[in-house]
């Protein structure tokens, strides 16, 4: 069974990665409505899937300078402040790897500056609409 190193999974903001990234995550979820009736077997609750959602998150070491094909935390903050929709792409980077792509908004930005450690950030991205699952070619 093939393993995928975490550093090969990235979250991109309009085709740019966030400078200083260390960790990425993707959460997909579904909301359920209770569908229990008097006819439910032995009074066991029943559920019906309703709405689906997806969220991406990235965290890393704060670096205010962007390089080639990267964006900064400050630029991510600007997307949040302006309520700007952008294209988010999350997943592998190698040929044959799976990735998800969708329109998205920045939901949350956070910077942590501990006295005895390096400054770090977290950016949470909320997908709007249905994501497209694809394969890197």
Structural domain for 78, as ranges: 6-27+53-135
pTM for this one? 0.87
Residues 84-124 pLDDT 10s = 999 999 998 889 999 999 999 999 999 999 999 999 999 99
Is residue 35 a part of any domain in this protein? no
Is residue 76 a part of any domain in this protein? yes
Is residue 32 a part of any domain in this protein? no
Is residue 94 a part of any domain in this protein? yes
pLDDT given for residue 15 in this prediction: 87
Is residue 57 a part of any domain in this protein? yes
pLDDT band at 1 (very low <50, low <70, confident <90, very high): low
Average pLDDT of the chain is 92
Is residue 80 a part of any domain in this protein? yes
Which single residue is written with the structure tokens 């994501």?
131
The CATH number for 74's domain is 2.30.110.20
- Give the integer Cα–Cα distance in Å for 56 and 89: 9
Is residue 81 a part of any domain in this protein? yes
Q: How many domains does the chain have?
A: 1
Of 88, 80, 82, 68, give the one whose Cα is nearest residue 110. 80
pLDDT surpasses 70 at 73: yes
């Amino acid at each position: 069974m093939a393993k995928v190193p975490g550093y090969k999974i990235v979250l991109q903001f309009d085709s740019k990665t966030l400078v200083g990234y260390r960790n990425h995550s993707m959460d997909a979820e579904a909301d359920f409505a209770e569908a229990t009736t008097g006819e439910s077997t032995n009074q066991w609750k029943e559920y019906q899937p309703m709405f689906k959602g997806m969220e991406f998150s990235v965290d890393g070491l704060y670096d205010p300078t962007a390089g080639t094909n990267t964006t900064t935390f400050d630029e991510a903050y600007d997307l949040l402040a302006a309520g700007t929709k952008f294209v988010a792409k999350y997943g592998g980077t190698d040929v044959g790897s799976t990735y998800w792509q969708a329109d998205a908004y920045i939901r949350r930005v956070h910077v942590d500056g501990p006295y005895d450690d390096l400054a770090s950030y977290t950016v949470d991205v909320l997908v709007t609409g249905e994501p497209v699952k694809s394969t890197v070619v």
